[in-house]
Structure 1
Amino acid sequence: MRSDPLMTVTEVANHLRLTASSWREQVAAGTAPPPDDPDTATDKPEFRRRPRWHRSTLDTWNEQRRIERRAAREAQAAQSTQTGG
């Protein structure tokens, strides 16, 4: 068994504790990492494509997202402290 499996949209959503529709929105908006296996076969209609991501890709992306959010919160708190808010 591979230690870094490819995961479908549903598996990704479960892994990240999101709904599948939330994950699809992030993919469509371009805020999610690009799929490791995009499944761009031209013989499949758009709604039947099944992109997949490696677990390591998701974990790296999710950790970076947490770091960025934490930094933004800290910057906002520092600004509030400086302005007396």
Structure 2
Amino acid sequence: MMSAVSAAIDAANEAEQADWYKHGCKPGTYACAKNPKTGGAGWKVCNTSKQWVYAGDCPWKSYCYFNKTNGSPYCIPWHY
């Protein structure tokens, strides 16, 4: 079961990244995302056409955390 902390982080990441869909994205950048088929946590990458492409899944019992300092998504176990 996902903890309240990881759920809050997931919601904050989604809200922050929502504007990218409206305005396109910067090629070569990453963001947290949900798998469009399963709804599981994962990440996406911006392609050369400035479109987000789902790129991978986080392991079971983990969530995606986006590190603003280095611009990278990380899969974090729920218990952290």
Q: Please, what TM-score do these two structures have when normalized by structure 1? A: 0.26
Larger Cα-atom Rg: 1
Where is the helix percentage greater, Structure 1 or Structure 2? Answer: 1
Where is the strand percentage greater, Structure 1 or Structure 2? Answer: 2
- Which protein has greater RCO, CA pairs closer than 8 Å, 6+ apart? 1
Q: Please, what TM-score do these two structures have when normalized by structure 2? A: 0.27
